Amino acid sequence: MQLRTLGRTGLSIAPVVFGGNVFGWTADARTSFELLDGFFDAGFNTIDTADVYSRWVPGHTGGESETLIGQWMKNSGTARDKAIIVTKVGSDLGDGKKGLGEAWIVKAVEDSLKRLQTDYIDLYLSHWPDPETPYEETLSAYDKLKSQGKIRAIGCSNLDADQLKASLDAAKKAGLPRYDAIQPEYNLYTREKFEGPLADLCVAEDIGVINYYGLAAGFLTGKYRSEADTKDKARGGGMARYLNDKGTRVLAALDTVAKDTGSKPAEVAIAWLLAKKAVTAPIVSATSLGQLQSLTKSASLTLSDEAMALLDAAGA
């Protein structure tokens, strides 16, 4: 498997990143460990998580995903330098634990390192914009953590083009490290948040892109085609926004290309992302080995120009 260079981070990652939000939520500890074993056995090397995963689950406080990843790394015997760990800071953990101020970042990174049972984080991301904290303060905190060897590279998530440009300008002016990677929401259905100015800026500035919701929270797997399909499913409640004429067109195009290529809609949706110039590696999640095997196939699926044109038009 050919690795991809993530912008200027110096990190070489496989073309698909495992989304760790499911760990401790829709995947229990045993299943999480099996999925991680299968993912790395297939030649992939990058796990994405965040300190807030999975605070939304009743009884959880955040950090559950990082804890399971740390336990897996310790128990599996996987060499630390074989795994690339991406985690994030800034989401609201309650009791004032949120944002991108230096004091909280310094505390939060120690908490993440402890849960992950590691000495360093490969890629540390600002999870959300923080209008109350200047970019210079946040980047200065990251600069210190880099010099201490606690993080290797930095990035951001959910910034628009103007915000990312402002952060780059602030870094240059202050002589601080810049964001070299970004996590935007981007998939065959939701394109307006990334395509255009933000994608153009990432290409121009050589910023690595690890997009989330690559399967639109599961919609692009094709298993949600009507309101009836959303009943009694963990993620079913978020499908209403996709169940419309555009969603129907996108699924129809995916079905056509999947049939022509002998693959599944989810594999086609990820392959479409991998064909996009600005994308380094999409984040995908799985809660079973069957789903994992299907998603990893997408890394070797090449779509024809005709297939790309059909998909582009459906999701425009």
Is residue 279 a contact partner of residue 233, using CB atoms and an 8 Å limit? no
- Residue count of the chain: 316
Say yes or no to pLDDT of 85 above 90. Answer: yes
pTM: 0.95
Say yes or no to pLDDT of 279 above 70. Answer: yes
Tell me how far apart the alpha carbons of residues 26 and 56 are, in angstroms, rounded to a whole number: 12
- The two tokens of residue 201 are 């800026």
Is residue 265 a contact partner of residue 258, using CB atoms and an 8 Å limit? yes
Say yes or no to pLDDT of 14 above 90. Answer: yes
Model pLDDT for residues 15-37, shown as the tens digit of each residue: 999 999 999 999 999 999 999 99
Report percent pLDDT > 90 for the chain.
Answer: 90
Model pLDDT, residue 153: 98
Model pLDDT, residue 130: 98
Tell me how far apart the alpha carbons of residues 138 and 156 are, in angstroms, rounded to a whole number: 11
Phi and psi at residue 27, in whole multiples of 5°? Answer: -125, 120
Say yes or no to pLDDT of 235 above 70. Answer: no
Q: Which of 120, 30, 99, 37 is nearest to 68 (CA)?
A: 30
pLDDT tier at 254, thresholds 50, 70, 90: very high
The stretch 242-258 carries a mean pLDDT of 96
Model pLDDT, residue 1: 83
DSSP character for 72? H
The stretch 271-289 carries a mean pLDDT of 96
Q: Which residues have a catalytic role annotated?
A: 53
First to last CA, the chain: 31
**Dihedral angle, C-alpha 11, 199, 185, 84, nearest 10 °:** 0
Model pLDDT, residue 310: 98
The stretch 31-44 carries a mean pLDDT of 96
Report percent pLDDT > 70 for the chain.
Answer: 98
The stretch 193-217 carries a mean pLDDT of 97
Is residue 239 a contact partner of residue 199, using CB atoms and an 8 Å limit? no
Tell me how far apart the alpha carbons of residues 243 and 236 are, in angstroms, rounded to a whole number: 11
Tell me how far apart the alpha carbons of residues 225 and 40 are, in angstroms, rounded to a whole number: 32
Cis status of the peptide bond prior to 54, with omega within 30 of 0: yes
**Domains of the chain: residue spans and CATH:** 4-183 (3.20.20.100)
Give the helix/strand (H/E) hosting 224: none
Is residue 242 a contact partner of residue 224, using CB atoms and an 8 Å limit? yes
Model pLDDT, residue 234: 57
Model pLDDT for residues 130-166, shown as the tens digit of each residue: 999 999 999 999 999 999 999 999 999 999 999 999 9
Say yes or no to pLDDT of 232 above 60. Answer: no
Is residue 178 a contact partner of residue 168, using CB atoms and an 8 Å limit? yes
The stretch 79-88 carries a mean pLDDT of 94
Say yes or no to pLDDT of 233 above 80. Answer: no
Mean pLDDT score of the chain? 95
Contacting residues for 297 by C-beta, under 8 A, at least 6 apart: 263, 267
Model pLDDT, residue 236: 65
Number of Cβ within a 10 Å radius of residue 252: 12
